Amino acid sequence: MSGTRRPFLGVSPVLLLLFLAASCAVVVFGAGVPESTARSIRRVNRRHGPFLGVVVSNAFEMEPLLRSPRFSPAKGNQLPPYLDVAGRRFRFGTIGEQKVIIVMTGLAMLLLTLFDIKGIVHFGIAGNADPSRQIGDVAVPRYWAHTGLWNWQRYGDGPNDELAFESNGDYTRSLGNLNFSDYTTTTNASGNNNNLLNAVWYEPEEVFPSNSGTPELRRHAFWVPVDARHYDLVARELEGHVILESCVVVAGNGNGTAATTTTCLPRRPVVATVERGCSASVFVDNAAYRGFLRNRFGVTAVDMETAAVALVSMQQGTPFIAVRALSDLAGGGSAGSNEAGVFAPLAAENAVTVVVELISLLN
């Protein structure tokens, strides 16, 4: 038996988990879901579809939407207020004239597999990699990338050395690398700053579009575009026209300070269409890495979820856009601690303000 170690062939754990969710959905009407729930899903699709899928990162960021007067939950007389499937709750209702299903991330593929979905709107808060933007601004990137899939190069190899399995077409050096020695703060006795971690090369994801007509037709994707019509709608109707919150009420610490204080930003936040955002399974609170992501890839929003939703939407051929309110300058700005501890609630509110305006326009 060969001892050769096979590569992971460019499929990240993030995308693999989404593929597994889809595989589970294939048998969901068998043993995976109670028959009563399966009947309810079929009835919802037949009588009320199609829906706009609204995918949110977590309960903290979903809560402002659920209490927004712009969201009307289903009353249950014909459409149930929610269905629980695979440990998640799919909430039904309307925003403006749009029938929506709201669900947290992790089940975007299941949402698209089970329900009649005509498009995906994803929203939440994000770190900021662009020092020219301000906390509270709502960024709507044109492209998203998953920056968590790497080929970690062995020590001693350099930029001109071929990566393992690069010749097979599985990996590439075209997207650039992060060289750890560039961030060494001290040099060794010989006067160089070599680092045993060497470098990681950023890799595109493998996507198998469902509408290609050919099974297992592999496509590499790094920058995933959002729906151009939705992006243009934001630029035309929302940029410069939506009033966002600029102050947040902060509770006192109980040590003789005021019960609450109001903290305001230097200027009122704005909606901004930007070129790029990125995601990885990493919480970025490091200024050097923030600077690398900005300089190498030109990103503004940095989060942990959007690229996975974008890739699933691309694979399924579903229109997609993401709205991300900036909660902090990743790695720190003038504050000694992460600003998200103060401004995350404000950012979450601003994200909801923009997303309900956008959805109301998607007729």
pLDDT at residue 350, as a whole number: 98
Give the rounded percent of residues in the chain with a pLDDT score beyond 70: 85
Least reliable range by pLDDT among 25-29, 43-47, 140-144, 182-186: 25-29
Residue with more model confidence, 95 or 192: 95
pLDDT at 210: 85
State the average pLDDT for the chain: 87
Measured distance CA(177)–CA(199) in Å, rounded: 6
* CA proximity to 126, closest of 312, 325, 279: 325
pLDDT of residue 189 exceeding 80, the answer is: no
pLDDT at residue 256, as a whole number: 59
Q: What is the mean pLDDT of residues 164-188?
A: 90
Q: Which residue has the tokens 């470098």?
A: 199
- Locate the DSSP E strands across the chain: 51-56, 71-73, 82-85, 88-95, 98-104, 117-128, 138-146, 150-153, 177-179, 199-202, 205-207, 219-221, 224-225, 247-251, 260-264, 271-279, 301-303, 320-329
Whether the pLDDT of residue 278 is over 60: the answer is yes
**Which pLDDT score, from 0 to 100, does residue 190 have?**
65
Q: For 196-220, write each residue's pLDDT tens digit.
A: 999 999 999 999 988 878 888 889 9
Superfamily of segment(s) 13-148+218-244+271-361: Nucleoside phosphorylase domain (3.40.50.1580)
Segment 145-165 shows an average pLDDT of 96
- Could you tell me the pLDDT band of residue 11, with boundaries at 50, 70 and 90? very low
Structure confidence at residue 185 as a pLDDT band (50, 70, 90): confident
φ, ψ of residue 206 to 5 degrees: the values are -95, 130
Q: How far apart are CA 190 and CA 242, in angstroms?
A: 58
pLDDT of residue 124: 97
Q: Following CA atoms 71, 73, 77, 79 in sequence, which dihedral angle do they give, to the nearest 10 degrees?
A: 90
Determine the pLDDT at residue 26.
39
Side chain identity at residue 159, one-letter code: P
Q: What is the DSSP letter of 161?
A: S
The predicted model gives 341-359 an average pLDDT of: 96
Annotated domain spans of the chain:
13-148+218-244+271-361, 150-185+192-203
Token pair, residue 304, equals 């942990």
13-26 and 306-316 are packed helices; what angle lies between their axes, rounded to 10 degrees?
50
Band of the pLDDT at 134, cuts 50, 70, 90? very high
DSSP letters along 300-324, please? SEEESSHHHHHHHHHHHT--EEEEE
For the segment 55-59, the average pLDDT, to the nearest whole number, is 94
* pLDDT at site 184: 84
For residue 180, give both structure tokens: 């750890």
Which tens digit of pLDDT belongs to each residue from 100-132? 999 998 756 789 989 999 999 999 999 999 999
pTM of the model: 0.87
Q: What's the pLDDT score for residue 14?
A: 52
Amino acid in position 355: V
pLDDT of amino acid 105 = 83
> pLDDT of 21-52, one tens digit each?
444 443 444 446 788 889 999 999 999 999 99
pLDDT of residue 22: 44
Mean pLDDT of all residues in 289-300: 97
DSSP, res 217: -
Tokens representing 117? 């979905």
